[in-house]
Amino acid sequence: MNHSNYITSSILFPTEWIDYELIDFGHGKKLERFGDYTFIRPDSQALAKPILQKEIWDNADGIFSSSIDEEKGNWKLSKKVPKYWTINYGELKLRAIPTPFRHLGFFPEQSVHWKWCRNLIKSSEIENKPRILNLFGYSGIASLDAALAGAAVTHVDASKKAVNLAFENRNENELEHLPIRFLVEDALNFVKREIRRNKKYDGIILDPPKYGRGPNGEKWKIEDDLLNLLELIQNLLSPNAIFVVLTSYAIRSSHMSLYYLLKSGLNLNHGAFSSGELGIKENNKQGRILSCANFARWQKE
């Protein structure tokens, strides 16, 4: 490894949340608060014993149950939990909604990346607005945050439902004026088309799923397609590009694996690479940290 352009990272966790907290975890589950409601969700990283008493867990407003695959199952919700509700993150209002895949519309630990991208956008010396591409953009929080920081954003997701949720988050914040393009597209096909059009981006955000289908039935499998996507992405980076960030929940490998993947895919001989884990710290006396995902990042030096 060339240590001259590698920044070591341990585990990064956000500290600025008010409307979200990790209350406790253990026995393969985690107890969290999203706004006024608490939920229990499965988590394969939560192998320790819970700290808090069982009675606290028993008072949760919602429980996600799964049999084999922790990503698929069913919610059991109390009657007081609405279809959706709003919580705050900095300047943004986020729509929280229990989804069929155990998520609640966003990933709190990723606010570490939102903040990192925001700071790089604000400090960049690019004339006009930096152009940011958010692939696999999901509910659009990273897109909104980047646009608020001064970027022009292209938000791409293969799921129409995900893009609709991104629209709802934008409208909830009355940010229709922001320069964001929302597109329902297959990621690989979109990138190939942008290359043919000689489009360039100053920053790229990626959070690819393990498996997926494009709007026209295109197949995505992360083990087969991610390296190819990264090799294509290097052709989209502008000469003044400021960052690329890759987050992975889908591959339970080390963050060093993502480092080598990103470095070999981008094939850049300048800037600094880093890798590590994203986590959430418990809001209790022990303050244990629950690992949530691995990441690798590149930034202009």
**Do residues 117 and 86 share a domain?**
no
Q: And the tokens for 198?
A: 């000689």
Each residue of 213-238: pLDDT tens digit? 888 888 988 889 999 999 999 999 99
Average pLDDT over residues 51-66: 95
Strand partners, 82: none
Give the structural domain span for 92.
20-96
Average pLDDT over residues 191-203: 98
Average pLDDT over residues 167-172: 96
**Do residues 266 and 149 share a domain?**
yes
DSSP string, 167-208: HHHHHHTT-TTS-EEEEE--HHHHHHHHHHTT--BSEEEE--
**Do residues 155 and 53 share a domain?**
no
Contact 297, 240 (CB under 8 A): no
Q: pLDDT at residue 88 above 60? A: yes
Label residue 3 by pLDDT band (50, 70, 90): very low
Residue position matching structure tokens 């590590």:
276
Say how many domains are in the chain.
2
**Do residues 125 and 74 share a domain?**
no
**Do residues 188 and 291 share a domain?**
yes
Q: Is 278 a member of any domain?
A: yes
Q: Is 242 a member of any domain?
A: yes
Phi/psi of residue 135, each to 5°?
A: -85, 145
CB atoms under 10 Å from CB of 100, counted, come to 11
Label residue 177 by pLDDT band (50, 70, 90): very high
Residue that terminates a domain, selected from 42, 71, 96? 96
Q: Is 222 a member of any domain?
A: yes
Q: And the tokens for 215?
A: 């709007």
Q: Is 118 a member of any domain?
A: yes
Please tell me the distance from the alpha carbon of residue 200 to that of residue 132, in angstroms, as a whole number: 9
Q: pLDDT at residue 72 above 80? A: no
pTM: 0.93
Average pLDDT over residues 105-109: 97
Q: Is 101 a member of any domain?
A: no
